[in-house]
Amino acid sequence: MRPESLLHLAGLSAAGPPQPLSGGDMGQVWRLGEYVVKTHPSPPPGLFPAEGRGLMLLAAAGARTPAVYWAGEEGIVLSYLPPGTENWEELATMLAHLHGKQSAAYGSSHPVFLGRFPLPPGRSKSWRSYWVEYRLEPLLAATRKAQADLAGHLERFIHTFEWPAEGPALIHGDLWSGNVLMTASGPALIDPSAWCGERALDLAMMRLFGGFPPAFWSAYEELRPVSAEVQEALPAYQLYFLLVHLHFFGAGYLSGIRRTLNHYGFI
User: What's the distance, CA 4 to chain centroid?
Assistant: 27
Three-state secondary structure string covering 216-242: HHHHHHHHCCCCHHHHHHHHHHCHHHH
DSSP-based three-state secondary structure for 156? helix
Q: Residue 170 phi/psi, 5° resolution?
A: -70, 130
DSSP-based three-state secondary structure for 64? coil
User: Which among 25, 149, 174, 191 is annotated as catalytic?
Assistant: 174
174 catalytic? Reply is yes
**CB proximity list for 42: less than 8 A, separation 6 or greater:** none
The burial class, CB within 10 Å (0-12 / 13-18 / 19+), for 267 is middle
List C-alpha distances in Å: 142 to 158, 194, 238.
Answer: 15, 21, 17
Our separate counts of H helices and E strands in the chain read 11, 13
In terms of phi and psi (left: phi > 0; alpha: psi -120 to 50; beta: otherwise), the region of 36 is beta
Q: Residue 40 phi/psi, 5° resolution?
A: -155, 145
Q: Which residues are catalytic?
A: 174
